Amino acid sequence: MNKVVVGAQWGDEGKAKITDLLAQDADLIIRYQGGCNAGHTVVANNKTFKFHLIPSGILYKGKTCFIGAGTVILPEYFDEEAGGLIKEGIDLSGLKINPLASITMPYHTEIDGFSESKAKKGKIGTTQKGIGPTYTDKYARIGLKVEDLYDEETLSEKLDIILPIKNKTLKEVYGLKTYTKDEVLNLCKKYAEIFRPYVCFDWQKVLEDAKEARKNILFEGAQGVMLDVDYGTYPFVTSSNPIGGGACTGSGFGPKMIDEVIGVAKAYVTRVGEGPFVTELNDETGEKIREIGHEYGVTTGRPRRCGWFDAVTMRYAVLTGGLTSVAITKIDVFDKFKEIKLCTAYKDIRDGRIYKNYPTNVFMHKYLEPVYETHEGWCEDISGIREYEKLPQNARKYIKRLEQLLGVPVSIISVGPDREQTIFVNPQ
């Protein structure tokens, strides 16, 4: 069975925990988009591991873990992440980089930093890891790919095309430092060494063999559907496609290779950075969720904005993300809540219009208010429960209601950060 793990909200849903769990049965794990803007936490064997780009399946021996063609790699950050894992005693011999992955150059992070610091209006609140500018160059066809680093002659030719354009933009648009060809060539030499142990020029054969041998493939998404550049709360999004469809473009496997798409969602919603968030709670309840759920960013340390579960965006995520089932995480955060709210629709305060489907023009979201239904809490510690039937009745009621609203089954319930704190619903 080949599965995709997709974030179904605005990122940080607990995807890494679910990926780590599913990776046990996978032979090949492919991270298909994004870069080190991601912060993925896995808690296993009393240790906490934080990943940014390296697939969390790396914790298991004997698995092949690919950083896919759809990703962008900040070389120094990757080097630090790989070095940190090696220090922890993690074997990276299964780690491979697709040579088609894009490289984040220093000018990309500089542009990202500049754009964010100068933007008064229209700030995105990016992670400042150069993600947007790297994807911009990729789509403008002036980006560098990992494979470029290993052919000096063609790299030199490519830089003769790219650099004049980049330098003109850096100087005239941003007023930033320009780069000489020698400077960039030296950087590229350094990057070639950083990636050398991992670059898999033979990736087509590895993928073909996996397909032929019907190996279990796990596609690991970063960010979430609502941050997708096509379907998310544009322009307050990242610059890649976290949706299930992104697993194909970012991995090199076609759609028929996918059997299941598991959307990961918290029992509430969080968001980091700017952008609309209809169920956001700017009050004590939001604060309570943030403190109990430890809602602070893995990559930037920023406090996450918190709010009630939003079935409107989530139904939209089921559709556009191609979700076949849902993993609900962090439901234990509600253990001390007497009441839990669930947003089932939006109401336009201007004319009372009710939206059950997600309105995609985010600039009118300031006129929307959530329509809530209220559920009774369970007021007991559920973090030790491992079977669905043993969950308190009110927790099961809440899950059932989510299934009804979303139209897909809840296949996994996570009741704590640890690998073990998981309930598989109707396991086969």
Binding residues vs ligand GDP (CB under 6 A): 7, 11-17, 39-41, 43, 298, 329-330, 332-333, 414-417
Would you give the binding string for Mg ion spanning residues 1-40, x where CB under 5 A is met? -----------x--------------------------x-
Minimum CB separation of residue 328 from ligand GDP in Å reads 8
Residue among 169 and 383 whose Cβ is closer to ligand GDP: 383
Choosing from 12, 137, 148, 228, the catalytic residue is 12
Q: Does 251 engage in binding with ligand IMO (CB under 6 A)?
A: no
Q: Does 332 engage in binding with Mg ion (CB under 5 A)?
A: no
43 binds, among Mg ion, ligand GDP, ligand IMO, none (CB under 5 to 8 A by kind): ligand GDP
Q: Which of 9, 10, 2 has the alpha carbon at shortest distance from 30?
A: 2
414 binds, among ligand IMO, ligand GDP, Mg ion, none (CB under 5 to 8 A by kind): ligand GDP
12 is catalytic: yes
Residue among 252 and 307 whose Cβ is closer to Mg ion: 307
Number of chain positions touching ligand IMO (CB under 6 A):
23
Minimum CB separation of residue 85 from Mg ion in Å reads 17
335 is catalytic: no
Q: Tell me which residues in 230-249 interact with ligand IMO (CB under 6 A).
A: 238-239
Q: Which of 352, 405, 40, 357 has the alpha carbon at shortest distance from 222?
A: 40
333 binds, among ligand IMO, ligand GDP, Mg ion, none (CB under 5 to 8 A by kind): ligand GDP
Binds ligand IMO (CB under 6 A): choice among 2, 19, 37, 98? 37
Minimum CB separation of residue 154 from Mg ion in Å reads 36
Q: Are the C-beta atoms of 203 and 252 separated by less than 8 Å?
A: yes
Residue 422: strand pairing partners: 414
Residue among 105 and 333 whose Cβ is closer to ligand GDP: 333
138 binds, among Mg ion, ligand GDP, ligand IMO, none (CB under 5 to 8 A by kind): none
Choosing from 20, 40, 148, 375, the catalytic residue is 40
Sign of CA dihedral 217, 15, 326, 226: negative
Q: Which of 32, 16, 8, 19 has the alpha carbon at shortest distance from 318?
A: 8
Q: Does 226 engage in binding with ligand IMO (CB under 6 A)?
A: no
Minimum CB separation of residue 31 from ligand GDP in Å reads 12
Number of chain positions touching Mg ion (CB under 5 A):
3
Q: Does 7 engage in binding with ligand IMO (CB under 6 A)?
A: yes
Would you give the binding string for ligand IMO spanning residues 343-382, x where CB under 6 A is met? ----------------------------------------
Q: Are the C-beta atoms of 143 and 166 separated by less than 8 Å?
A: no
Q: Does 132 engage in binding with ligand IMO (CB under 6 A)?
A: yes
Residue among 149 and 225 whose Cβ is closer to ligand GDP: 225
Binds ligand IMO (CB under 6 A): choice among 3, 17, 40, 375? 40
Minimum CB separation of residue 334 from ligand GDP in Å reads 10
β-pair type (3-7, 260-266): parallel
The span from the CA of 254 to the CA of 236, in Å, is 29
Sign of CA dihedral 143, 217, 15, 45: negative
Minimum CB separation of residue 80 from Mg ion in Å reads 17
Which tokens hold the place of 231? Answer: 């379907």
The interface region with ligand IMO, picked from 10-18, 332-340, 386-394, 404-412 by CB under 6 A, is 10-18
Minimum CB separation of residue 251 from ligand GDP in Å reads 18
| Residues engaged in binding ligand IMO (CB under 6 A) | 7, 10-12, 37-40, 124-127, 129, 131-132, 222-224, 227, 238-239, 272-273
Q: Which amino acids are annotated catalytic?
A: 12, 40
Where on the chain is the footprint of Mg ion (CB under 5 A)? 12, 39, 298
